[in-house]
Chains A and B, each alone.
Chain A
Amino acid sequence: MKWKIFSRKKRKEQWRLIFQPDGDMADVMALPGAVVEGQIAGRYLLASGGTAGTVIIQGVRRKGILAGVDVAIDHQAASEHDVDVAYQPRGGRASLRPAETVNFEEMMLNASDKFVSTPTDPEDLACLLYTSGTTGRPKGVRLTVKNFLCEQQATQKLLEITPQDKIIGVLPFFHVFGLSNVLLIGLAHGASIVLIPQYSPGNLLKAIIEHHPTLVIAIPTMFGHLLMLLERKKVRLPQNIRLCVSGAAPLPKEMIGAFETCSGARVLEGYGLTETVAACCVNPPDGVCKAGSIGLPLSGFEMKIVDADGKELPAEEVGEIAVRGEGVTPGYYNLPQDTEEAFRDGWFLTGDTGYKDQDGYFFVTDRKKEIIIKGGLNISPREVEDVLLSHPVVKEAAVIGRKKGEREEIVAFVTTRGEVSAKELVSHCKQALSSFKVPDEICFMETLPMSVTGKVLKKELTGDYQDERRIERKETGSGSID
């Protein structure tokens, strides 16, 4: 007997294609959204015959932005630039979420609101804050509970925060300045904080006008923007501000004066590091404010100027700034070598060079690592930058040393307000500087790379800088694949 064998050819499953090359921005979200909703509804209705798979291929006929509802959009600019704006509706509890992730809101909803805080020891680690500095890879700075509490005590003496205070929260909280000197100290003393998630000069001014803060803690760039905006918009600051604090980078003297005039409040300039949980030296609110100075050490901090051997230098002599106190980090995370090098006899070496005057006020001159050594002579980038900035056309300047064979060359990066030749800038420098300090090369830039706190990222200006935004094929290490 013969069996006839039928080869039953399995019919391929059929999927659907929705092809729309000329849709709009909303379709990018609405098309797949509708199919997903349809599938869910279909399941509850026990409907059968729904397609197993749908493929959507779509493009847009006009430029567009699809934005989450929390993204700040300038609608006027959008229509001026022919950009469609569509919002992604706020996700509900059962909304799409990236696979293998937890939704923050869901996690909170499912958890109890009662919790007894775990007891901590003063030496326990509270935060690891990564500081990229302006050179090298980010290092984890270990900050203990004690470090934060000491810093709070020190700054509270200066700021005297009460529940009546309202503080502008524009400095990012992921940075030590905002985290320690705005968020944690504000909440510890019952103040209210105005959260600004996305800095723009307009957002900041709007928040100040709307909320009438009593304390404005910001960086020089922001004070500069505010001054410009106040003048352009012909508006006045509300007169509730009682104190302003500026840090992270030097604030020009004229700007301090201008801002004090329009706010009616003192502007205190200070100095701090991630390693000192932010401020450790500030111009006193009731004493003498010296222009260009970072002021006096805060209570709980000691500071001195040391030479290369760690010996204390007398007033007016330039050396490295060293700090000691309960607010100073115990060291870097997983980096015993770096930690050892950063401390000498219990003093933290800041890597900043500077001096102390006869009255005990401190002045910063440069980052130690940025000092350029040319022909055996030390050159202060800051000094060259100041000369460049004194030229009326120069807006910003950053000076670095670039290795050329055995020697280091001085390279100046500048942004300008108008036309100027490299030759003119060089001759401008020649008038004010000894010849060995005059830049060997001047590079004109549209903008200088800056950190969130307004510091020029000099490492990005050196020739061998590797763009960290790129992800290379090699798993780790520094090499690129080419």
Chain B
Amino acid sequence: MSVESNGKRLGLVQSIERWAASSPDLIAFHFDGESITYRDLNLRANRVANGLEALGVEKGDRVAIMLPNIPEFVYALLGILKLGAVAVPFNTLYKGGEILHILKDSGAKVLIALTNFAPMINEIRPELPALEQVILTGERNLLFAHPESTAFIQLILQRDLIRDVDGAYQKMGHILLKIMEDLGVKEAWYKHRGSIRVRGTKIATFVIFEVEGIALVNAVVFLGPMDTKAFLRVVWVPPEIRDKVIEPLTSVEQETGQRPSWDQVKETVVAAIQQAFQVEIKEGSMVRDERFGYEKLRSLAYKAR
């Protein structure tokens, strides 16, 4: 049978390694105007194998892949197979409960996913003791903003102000919970690293980012119901999965019967943060250097791809 060839045992990657050696310039795949050769594919898969090994992945360990058909999927899969680890690819449309089940059941040590899944992964991570590493890739973040629905609350802090990430999530969760309570939302709850929910449904969510000793807390609070129909026309989503793409949401207005005014939001948010950090918050504006960076980022944002 095929497993034995010339007396040597074959795995799943050897045939690909052979193409890389015998016809290095042969094209393995096309993606977004680029062509990747078998040589490059093999080298990148080697990098993933080494990278995963450095993170502690060994033969037989399960590595979950939650990615669409992008080059990183292929590099990741081949890297995992080269290591002799077990790939656990799963549906990118799966949501919280399903993902939790798969990661728990498989005992995955590492999860490779799209960056935009960070909030969801955060939310389930405390329940996954076996999951040691989360590797994120891709520029597929998608954020909807609606004049009547979304309020963005962003905190930029020196990293030492929050000591550890765990504590920061705990603190921010409680600040948002306090804001919800002050806006009249009853029965909101927060589970570690999760979203703020009313019953099972999301009303606010946040992620903590970090770079070079600075932490950015990015939160969004839903003030009023969000009509997502227009958004889904702009980002093409097959009709049959449309309602799976967006997690069910609720809002302050839906829970209390009234949408708070912006002044009310400002007051409530400032009061909650002042209290939590024991600081005084004064309204101000950007300084000159920031304004410069701001204009640069804005022009990048609107530059046609």
Query: Chain B contacts of A148 at CB under 8 A?
Result: 12
Q: Produce 1/0 per residue, B247-285, CB < 8 A to A.
A: 110000000000000100110011001000111111111
Could you tell me which residues of chain A, from 181 to 197, have a CB within 8 Å of some CB in chain B? 183-184, 187-190, 192-197
Query: Chain B contacts of A109 at CB under 8 A?
Result: 47
Task: Provide the bound-state CA to CA distance between A471 and B286, in Å.
Answer: 39
Could you tell me which residues of chain A, from 29 to 52, have a CB within 8 Å of some CB in chain B? 29-43, 52
- Asked if A252 is at the interface of the complex by the 8 Å CB criterion, the answer is no
Q: Which of B60, B96, B218 contacts A125 (CB 8 A)?
A: B60
19 interchain pairs, CB-CB under 8 A? A15-B277, A26-B302, A33-B293, A34-B294, A38-B286, A53-B157, A55-B269, A68-B142, A74-B236, A102-B134, A103-B137, A114-B46, A124-B60, A153-B1, A172-B69, A174-B68, A187-B16, A198-B68, A448-B240
Q: Which one, A127-135, A284-292, A364-372, A426-434, is touching chain B?
A: A127-135
Number of interface residues of A (CB under 8 A): 158
- Asked if B112 is at the interface of the complex by the 8 Å CB criterion, the answer is yes
Q: Produce 1/0 per residue, B175-215, CB < 8 A to A.
A: 00000000000000101001101011100000111111111
Please give the distance in Å from B284's CB to the nearest CB on chain A.
Answer: 4
- Asked if A424 is at the interface of the complex by the 8 Å CB criterion, the answer is no
Q: Which one, A88-96, A242-250, A304-312, A383-391, is touching chain B?
A: A88-96
- Asked if A66 is at the interface of the complex by the 8 Å CB criterion, the answer is yes
* Closest B residue, CB atoms, query A28: B152
Number of interface residues of B (CB under 8 A): 170
Q: Would you call B29 and A194 a contact (CB within 8 A)?
A: yes
Query: Chain B contacts of A12 at CB under 8 A?
Result: 278-280
Q: Which of B86, B140, B281, B300 contacts A15 (CB 8 A)?
A: B281
Could you tell me which residues of chain A, from 221 to 259, have a CB within 8 Å of some CB in chain B? none
Q: Which of A37, A55, A170, A481 contacts B200 (CB 8 A)?
A: A481
- Asked if A205 is at the interface of the complex by the 8 Å CB criterion, the answer is no
Q: Produce 1/0 per residue, B95-106, CB < 8 A to A.
A: 111100110011
Q: Produce 1/0 per residue, A58-92, CB < 8 A to B.
A: 11111111111111111001101111011111110
Query: Chain A contacts of B305 at CB under 8 A?
Result: 69, 87
* Closest B residue, CB atoms, query A156: B2
Query: Chain A contacts of B151 at CB under 8 A?
Result: 57-59
Task: Provide the bound-state CA to CA distance between A42 and B288, in Å.
Answer: 12
Q: Would you call B55 and A74 a contact (CB within 8 A)?
A: no
Q: Would you call A53 and B161 a contact (CB within 8 A)?
A: yes
Most chain A beta-carbon contacts within 10 A, residue among B12, B147, B189, B279 = B12
Could you tell me which residues of chain B, from 58 to 94, have a CB within 8 Å of some CB in chain A? 59-60, 62, 65-77, 81-84, 86-94
Q: Would you call B284 and A16 a contact (CB within 8 A)?
A: yes
Extra contacts, 14 of them, besides A12-B278, A37-B297, A481-B200 (Cβ < 8 A), are: A12-B280, A55-B270, A57-B269, A65-B143, A66-B141, A68-B115, A73-B235, A99-B168, A174-B89, A183-B77, A187-B41, A188-B15, A192-B27, A192-B29
Query: Chain B contacts of A103 at CB under 8 A?
Result: 135-137
